[in-house]
Structure 1
Amino acid sequence: MAPTDAPRKISDRSIEQFAGADLVREGTRGRGPLGMNAAVHALGPVLLVSASGEAQEIERRPLAPGMPTMDFIFVEAGTFTHSVGSAWEECSGPLMIAPSGLPQHVRFITPWRFLVARIATDALRPFLPALPEHARVFETMRLPERAMAGYLASVGHDATAGPGESLTASRLIVEMAGAVLRDRFGSGSPQGHSSTDIWGHAQAVIVEECTNVDFDPRALAQRVGCSLRRLQAEFTDRGTTVAGEIRRERARIAHALLRDPAQARVRLATIAEQSGFSATSTMHRVIAETFGVPPTRLRGIPERPSE
């Protein structure tokens, strides 16, 4: 029998209710009894959390420091302050993006309600050369973020989804989160408006064309409408390369196909071709570099964030 102070585990596609005592076991501390509760919906590499509570100061120290997840926190109600070094920063903004492994001190000034998508970072790595390492609060939400918030709310209210629907929902959430990360963190330090246009246009074309095995940096430059040298310089300024981003997007597509139970009997050579790789060996190498595991270990094994 598991000890009573052990963290609770959540089965895939289940919805679990967490009260104050459960949250204490998960690493949350407060001054006095925790006046908060949460419902957690498990969807493959995504934990969808609906949480609410009263005005209170809490400290969240995850039981597994540095756990590889990223939180997309949509603030539906409430005002709070959070610690930034030795200072406290007040926030009523509608969105916070934060690595889950960071200890967090939060003071809730008013009753509050959050909707959170906690996503395994391995599922997000293909979208950016480097994921954000510090919490960021955004005072307004852009269109991709509003769309993500609306979809999360819809999924969170549906307790009847079957395995296939849950897998589709988790993929859509990861895609939306990747789009938000690219929009908020993918522009690096652009040198003027034209650089931003080149980067954003290039990212969109890569997503659209990367499954074409003949698509390469030169073809991308032609589609974007700039020289190959200019395109390469824009990617270098952001700490990546054109070819590397094309490989990253192909790896993301192959990763999704390999984890899809419906593709379990499809040959690896076919998966490589569908993802835009010129050879199965190239897919093996790029997936291993991107995700740290070979394609054969991905098959039929859904990723899960740490609870």
Structure 2
Amino acid sequence: MDAAGPLTKEKYQPTILGHMGVLVAKSRNEWAQVITESFVPLSLGSASGSFRGSVRSSALGSAATLSEVRTHGPSVVLRSARLVRVEPRDDYLFSLHLYGEGAVFQDGRQARLPCGGGALYDTARPYELRFPTDTRQLVLQMSREQLHDRVGRVEDMRGRALPGDHPTVRVLAACLRELADTSDDLTGGQRAELGLTALDLMATALRAVAGAGSGVPAGRGALLAMMQAFVREHLAEPWLTPEVIARHHRVSLRYTVDLFATDGTSPAAFIRAERLRTAHRILVDPRYATLTVSAAAARCGFSDRTTFTRAFVRAYGRTPAELRRDVAALSADS
């Protein structure tokens, strides 16, 4: 990769290779601009005098962006409280570490980045990335809404390491590596589909690692988490009601209502919200483009299309058919 000259307003332009944008920096000052341009507003805490780096990014539809980051020389990258305040962003980043040493610091947690593993961090909160050596990593950038739809309380996983030897992390890592290697040969529609697949694998890895770790909530929190998982597993079932949730977990309906209230909702509202989120995901997913709106509603437990449409409009401000048309128009434009 050719090195770029000193950055100026006129010269600071990405090198375009197909749909891929490549930004190259050969100094610490250039690197601060490159990482801000590529991800979110960031600052450089420190970097070696001979520092060089590059970011090669690929848009995976509207769902996510995948970037390959290479650095030569130690560096510290910061998203300070001030930047969070004056330059707010609402994405999550997952760094898959492929070479060198690194660590993520967020919310008082330190996650070492083992080769083949990674860590999730939240751009709406301050964080620090430390790289004492040359590095190579893949960074998956995704919206909060996309990840929350799939995981729920993803906040519990920010600043935590995902070990490279965990089976689900290995599958996720293999997917991201292949996407980085082949993305320039894919059509826009294929990249969008595979971007959604990458998000699904990201959610699976997060749930699996959270369930296997020592941070699993205990007592009432654990029971609520089990109830929420039960709802997500049975969304398509018309018999899913607050009474069924209580009976399945051998507690009273009153206790079930109290548990959900601690999370700011009710069992019925949680069921409805999860069904609508899942329906929204299906309707914007090109993999389900041939599925009718009625079939999508049925997959999420709505037996009546009129009821589904009214609830969908209240939640998203437009009908399912309008959403489908908007998504199709965006895909055609890209």
Please say whether Structure 1 and Structure 2 have the same fold, judged by a TM-score greater than 0.5: yes
Residues 1:37 and 2:65 aligned together: no
**In structure 2, C-alpha distance between the alignment counterparts of 1:103 and 1:5, rounded to whole Å:** 30
TM-score of the pair, normalised by structure 2: 0.68
| Gapped regions of structure 2 (runs ≥ 5) | 1-8
Change over 3 Å in CA distance of 1:195–1:100 after alignment to 2: closer
Which of 103, 112, 117 aligns to 1:91? It is: 112
**In structure 2, C-alpha distance between the alignment counterparts of 1:24 and 1:73, rounded to whole Å:** 14
TM-score of the pair, normalised by structure 1: 0.73
**In structure 2, C-alpha distance between the alignment counterparts of 1:213 and 1:9, rounded to whole Å:** 53
Match of 1:124 in 2: 147
Which of 202, 218, 243 aligns to 1:191? It is: 218
Kindly indicate whether the alpha-carbon contact (under 8 Å) linking 1:53 and 1:113 is maintained by their aligned counterparts in 2.
yes
Q: Once the 2 structures are TM-superposed, how far is the Cα of residue 184 of structure 1 from its aligned partner?
A: 6.2
Change over 3 Å in CA distance of 1:229–1:53 after alignment to 2: same
Residues 1:16 and 2:37 aligned together: no
Residues 1:252 and 2:277 aligned together: yes
Kindly indicate whether the alpha-carbon contact (under 8 Å) linking 1:79 and 1:92 is maintained by their aligned counterparts in 2.
yes
User: Structure 2 matches for 1:165-184, cutoff 5 A?
Assistant: 165-182=190-207
Q: Once the 2 structures are TM-superposed, how far is the Cα of residue 41 of structure 1 from its aligned partner?
A: 2.1
Residues 1:155 and 2:179 aligned together: yes
Residues 1:301 and 2:327 aligned together: yes
Change over 3 Å in CA distance of 1:164–1:131 after alignment to 2: same
Change over 3 Å in CA distance of 1:138–1:170 after alignment to 2: same
Deviations 1:117-168 (A, max 9, x none): 1111221232455552994132745443333223222322223334453333
Q: Once the 2 structures are TM-superposed, how far is the Cα of residue 296 of structure 1 from its aligned partner?
A: 5.1
Kindly indicate whether the alpha-carbon contact (under 8 Å) linking 2:106 and 2:159 is maintained by their aligned counterparts in 1.
no
Q: Once the 2 structures are TM-superposed, how far is the Cα of residue 249 of structure 1 from its aligned partner?
A: 2.7
User: Structure 2 matches for 1:41-52, cutoff 5 A?
Assistant: 41-44=58-61, 45-52=63-70
**In structure 1, C-alpha distance between the alignment counterparts of 2:109 and 2:159, rounded to whole Å:** 14
Greater share of helix: 2
Kindly indicate whether the alpha-carbon contact (under 8 Å) linking 2:60 and 2:192 is maintained by their aligned counterparts in 1.
yes
Letter in 2 for 1:78: G
Change over 3 Å in CA distance of 1:139–1:271 after alignment to 2: closer
Change over 3 Å in CA distance of 1:90–1:165 after alignment to 2: closer
Q: Once the 2 structures are TM-superposed, how far is the Cα of residue 71 of structure 1 from its aligned partner?
A: 0.9
Kindly indicate whether the alpha-carbon contact (under 8 Å) linking 2:53 and 2:69 is maintained by their aligned counterparts in 1.
yes
**The residue matched to 1:49 in structure 2 has which SS?**
strand
**In structure 2, C-alpha distance between the alignment counterparts of 1:144 and 1:124, rounded to whole Å:** 16
Identity of aligned residues (%): 21
Match of 1:275 in 2: 300
Q: Once the 2 structures are TM-superposed, how far is the Cα of residue 178 of structure 1 from its aligned partner?
A: 3.0
User: Structure 2 matches for 1:187-226, cutoff 5 A?
Assistant: 190-192=217-219, 196=222, 198-199=223-224, 201-224=226-249, 226=251
Which of 72, 78, 82 aligns to 1:54? It is: 72
User: Structure 2 matches for 1:228-247, cutoff 5 A?
Assistant: 228-247=253-272
Aligned residues: 298
Letter in 1 for 2:171: A
Letter in 2 for 1:171: L
User: Structure 2 matches for 1:133-144, cutoff 5 A?
Assistant: 135-138=158-161, 140=163, 142-144=166-168
**In structure 2, C-alpha distance between the alignment counterparts of 1:261 and 1:286, rounded to whole Å:** 23
Letter in 1 for 2:132: I
Q: Which has the larger radius of gyration?
A: 2
Match of 2:6 in 1: none
Higher relative contact order (CA 8 A, sep 6+): 1
Change over 3 Å in CA distance of 1:35–1:131 after alignment to 2: same
Kindly indicate whether the alpha-carbon contact (under 8 Å) linking 1:99 and 1:134 is maintained by their aligned counterparts in 2.
no
Kindly indicate whether the alpha-carbon contact (under 8 Å) linking 2:14 and 2:22 is maintained by their aligned counterparts in 1.
no
RMSD: 4.3
Letter in 1 for 2:112: C
Match of 1:70 in 2: 92
Letter in 2 for 1:39: R
